[in-house]
Amino acid sequence: MQFDAALAAQDTLREAQSELGDDWDDAVALEETFSSNAGATARDAYEQLLAMAGRHPRAHRFQAFCIYITWQQVTEETIARHFETGMTLAETYLASPDGKDPRHLANIAELLDSFRAGLGLDEEDEIVVEFRKDTPKGGD
């Protein structure tokens, strides 16, 4: 990746303050819990942050933040569910790019590729490409 998802998450959360209103203090506390813990404690904070994002569907910076921390969750606990969550969040984010920061759009497009690759969704395409390169063209 061309950027650090953890640093992008921190910066993006700060940018999201105006989007969250009364939820801002809770978001900061949950992010602190997520960032300074592991296992069930971090996972619970992560899930609460995603639920908060669901309550703020127009909070584009906070949505980007959640995609960045989903990548962090993938690296902490590499399971298909996190890759699927990341892919869904990224696809939803990218589906309507109007009014969103181009920097976040580029980063999230890159993360989408990584989430897809983690699920093996791009492997077949690479195999087919290699197969075509190795297949003789023309007659005998």
For 23-50, the pLDDT digits (tens) are: 999 999 999 999 999 999 999 999 999 9
* Per-residue pLDDT tens over the stretch 84-99: 999 999 999 999 888 8
Q: Is residue 140 part of a domain?
A: no
- Are the C-beta atoms of residues 71 and 5 closer than 8 Å to each other? yes
Q: Is residue 139 part of a domain?
A: no
Split into its structural domains, the chain has a count of: 1
Question: Residue 89 is encoded by which pair of tokens?
Answer: 């969040």
Q: Which residue has the higher pLDDT, 89 or 130?
A: 89
Q: Is residue 56 part of a domain?
A: yes
Contacts of 3 (CB under 8 A, 6+ apart): 107, 110
Q: Is residue 119 part of a domain?
A: yes
- Tokens 């700060």 -> residue: 14
Report CA dihedral (70, 16, 25, 41) to the nearest 10 degrees: 10
Predicted local confidence at residue 87, as pLDDT:
95
Q: How far is CA 1 from the centre of its chain?
A: 12
Domain interval for residue 119: 5-134
d(CA 116, CA 105): 16
Predicted local confidence at residue 127, as pLDDT:
46
